Structure 1
Amino acid sequence: MPEGLRRLPACQGPREGDGVIRPRAVLFDCDGVLADSEGLVNRIVAEDLTVRGWRLSAEEARETFLGLAAPDMLPMIEARVGPLPPRWMHDLSRTIAAAMQRELLAVPGAVAAVQAVAAAGLAVAVASNSGRAELVSKLDRLGLAKAFGPRIFSFEDVARPKPAPDMYRAAAAACGAAPADCVVVEDSLLGARAGIAAGCRVLGFTRETDASVLAAVGAVPFARMDDLPRLLGLQGLAA
């Protein structure tokens, strides 16, 4: 058990297992946490920008844009290729959403983890720097839209995308919980910063991001989604 969890602010709910305190709500990022989508998205972005004159591989696109919302990508791209068409973000999001419906898979253990958290009576929400149509498409494909209900937040739903705290504060409010009573599950540096800035506890998923990077901003690293219920104090529900 990561020692850092015991030192984080207490939240409402009973103590479970080895002393971890259950949160009132769990707020999930999507890409890289629930959806194994980053390779697919990065391939589409790289292909689009290569046609426009910025030659990128999928891995280079990941390194350049990890965690960024499309509005934050826009000035970076236009500095390299010139003005983009007015509907570029909309059209790219539709292309990604269509690909998600055909190809997207879940991160191993993610669907079972969300189901275990919801079954334990904790509120759940999802907060992503994706566009709304793209995000809803991903959740539909994974069979998770019903679990989150109306508590789905994209960059289009708040004034500022991650790393600003707006999205996680909105997600906490939708769950009827104070940020300090929520746990955020993130896999990117920008997302972890957003959760910390919102006043939430943050668990940093290390499947694609080095544990030291996430720990440096105050997240508690973990490596397997199967472990999430145990880390939340939901003893007996881990896979």
Structure 2
Amino acid sequence: MTLPPARRPAAVLFDCDGVLADSEGLVNRIVAADLTARGWRLSPDQARETFLGMALPDMLPMIEARVGPLPPRWAGELGQAISGALMEGLDPVPGALAALRAVAAAGLPVAVASNSSRIELRAKLGRLGIAGLFGERVFSFEDVAEPKPAPDIYLAAAAACGAAPAACVVVEDSLLGCRAGIAAGCRVLGLTRETDAAVLAAVGAEPFARMEDLPRLLGLQEKAA
């Protein structure tokens, strides 16, 4: 794959699941098991295909159309189950932590913007030991008016970094996330570890295959190990 030319941004805005945290398989197993028990038989792979990149508010109508009204506490209880599992068994995406630390060491502001809930997102960052790199620049779908693919979350992340969206790079791996970054006016790098490069390129993202390549794509001298 031909990699895009390096351009140093004013800030780097990271998605979490599939970019920093290798969490999608674990979360999809929990979601699939819950929905299968409620009558919608899904494998983890089918759950991923159905819900990849979606925030919970957008998932709910789809789920209730298949299984009927959910209990009032369903979302909170599912989030607690996911958070507990993440704290016990979450690994980083290969190369992601070194790439993130190289970006931070180069003096670029970083933020994380995820369609996860606050409790899930904080659990993931805590488990990976990277919460301190982001400080208060952590955004879930609960922090903005509209989740991805709306641009709200990346506009908020750019503002928190004190940078114009056009000067920021978004690092994403899902179609919905890439659409959000493009809509915000950012340059978007689309990780193709589990998503077809053509799908991401079709919405304007620049596909790349390995998180180890990120520092070079950002025009940094430091390279992830």
Q: What TM-score do the two structures reach when normalised by structure 2?
A: 0.98
Specify every segment of 5 or more residues in structure 1 that has no aligned partner in the other structure, as ranges. Answer: 7-19
Which residue of the partner structure matches residue 107 of structure 2?
A: 121
Superposed, 1:59-138 pairs within 5 Å as 59-138=45-124
Which residue of the partner structure matches residue 192 of structure 1?
A: 178
Pair 1:27-2:13 in alignment: yes
Q: Which amino acid aligns with 2:66?
A: R
Q: Write out per-residue CA displacement over residues 63-87 of structure 1, whole angstroms, 9 at most, x where no aligned residue.
A: 1101100000000000000000112
CA RMSD of aligned residues (A): 1.1
Specify every segment of 5 or more residues in structure 2 that has no aligned partner in the other structure, as ranges. Answer: none
Distance 1:2 1:201, change over 3 A: farther
Q: Which amino acid aligns with 2:210?
A: R
Distance 2:223 2:37 in 1: 48
Q: Write out per-residue CA displacement over residues 142-177 of structure 1, whole angstroms, 9 at most, x where no aligned residue.
A: 011000110000000000000000000000000000
Q: Which amino acid aligns with 1:176?
A: G
Q: Which amino acid aligns with 1:39?
A: G
Q: Write out per-residue CA displacement over residues 26-83 of structure 1, whole angstroms, 9 at most, x where no aligned residue.
A: 0000000000000000000000001111111000100110110000000000000000
Aligned residues: 225
CA contact (8 A) 2:182 2:188 kept: yes
CA contact (8 A) 1:34 1:111 kept: yes
Q: Secondary structure at the match of 1:22?
A: coil
CA contact (8 A) 2:188 2:204 kept: yes
The alpha-carbon deviation at position 89 of structure 1 amounts to: 1.1
- Structure 1 stretches of 4+ with a deviation exceeding 3 A read none
Q: What TM-score do the two structures reach when normalised by structure 1?
A: 0.92
Q: Secondary structure at the match of 1:21?
A: coil
CA contact (8 A) 1:184 1:201 kept: yes
Distance 1:93 1:222 in 2: 31
CA contact (8 A) 2:95 2:210 kept: yes
The alpha-carbon deviation at position 2 of structure 1 amounts to: 4.7
